[in-house]
Amino acid sequence: MNAIPFPIEADLPIYDARRPVLRTRPRKALHHFRELLKDKERTEEVFRIFEALPWQGMRAAGVNFLSSERGQALRAREPFLPAVLDDHAALRRMPAGSLAHAYCDFMEKEGLSAQGLVDEFERFAHDKPRFRDQFEWYLNRGRDTHDLLHVLTGYGRDGLGEACVLAFTYSQQPSPAHLFIGYMAGLNMKKTVKSAAPVFRAIREGQKLGKACPRLIETSITELLPLPIDEVRRRLNITPARHYQRAHQVWRSLGVDPYDMLGKNTPYQAQGLAQAA
């Protein structure tokens, strides 16, 4: 698949030295996590947690990748992933059973778009200084591949699924925020519903899966999209998330909705439970 044309400025510096060095602020992160618990759709709170618990090695990783021929080739090939990922008409022309089809199925079912996450970030960052460098592209890749991770791993958008995706991402982009949100969410689930559901094992499993996978933000997404999803998973060493699936089974056996673990935990009606099983 050819990337959708998008302007690339070849003369931009790799990294603008005026970028501020973010400090680690655990108390600020805890405050925003409490706000996130009130409504898990408040994406702005997630961005604020990441701002308070930054990946201190991201500059080195980004500069190293962008200084390589492979990094520059990928930046030229995939200048702006949301333009590719939101062109469902083009993605649907790819073979049935491909990652492209699975991605469209997921995004359409959930009512999501790649641009939607960009817009959420822009609302958060509208009053922050912007820097014209190539590093901005590297930063954006972490945001723009998030929903692909759900598709590749099989983790849903339930509370545990999001926690597991964050743990997976930590092993790829080790910001303490990934583990902080993931394990704090897990603790909240264990406190809210007392059960034998392997919540922490599921999150830890996500972390292990992420460690086994090549860094996705440095991988060509347009090369993966046309391939059978099972082949993509094999290439990326992504195996089934068994503890996550087991946690869902335990909760459902108790009449608890896994997709409401950070909400009211309302029991399924009999018909809904049968459909979800």
Q: Tell me what pLDDT residue 49 has.
A: 94
Predicted pLDDT at 174: 95
In a domain, 4, yes or no: no
Q: Note the pLDDT of residue 62.
A: 97
Q: In this structure, is residue 20 part of a structural domain? A: no
Cα distance between residue 15 and residue 138, in whole Å: 10
Give which of 81, 52, 74 is closest to 177, Cα–Cα. 52
Residue 21 lies in a domain: no
Nearest to 148 by CA among 94, 106, 207: 106
Q: Is 9 domain-assigned?
A: no
85 contacts 100 by C-beta, under 8 angstroms:
no
CA 1/CA 77 separation, integer angstroms:
10
Per DSSP, 216 falls in state G
Total domains in the chain come to: 1
CA distance 256 to 265: 6
Cα 35 from Cα 52, distance rounded (Å)? 14
- Give residue 277's pLDDT: 23
> φ, ψ for residue 98 (rounded to 5)?
-80, 165
Structural domain boundaries, residue 127 = 26-276
- How far is it between the farthest Cα atoms of the chain? 61
Residue 189, in any domain of the structure: yes
Q: Is residue 12 part of a domain?
A: no
Q: Which residue intervals of the chain are DSSP H helices?
A: 26-38, 43-52, 58-66, 69-77, 81-85, 88-92, 99-110, 114-125, 135-144, 146-153, 159-172, 176-192, 199-212, 221-224, 229-235, 242-253, 270-276
Q: What is the pLDDT at residue 13?
A: 96
User: Burial code of 17-48, b = ≥16 C-beta within 10 A, e = fewer?
Assistant: eeeeeeeeeeeebeebbeebbeebeebebbbb
- Whether 95 is covered by a domain: the verdict is yes
Could you tell me if residue 19 is inside a domain? Answer: no
Question: Could you tell me the mean pLDDT of each successive run of 10 residues in the chain, 277 residues long?
Answer: 52 93 93 85 85 95 98 97 98 98 98 94 85 95 95 96 96 95 92 95 98 98 98 98 98 92 40 25
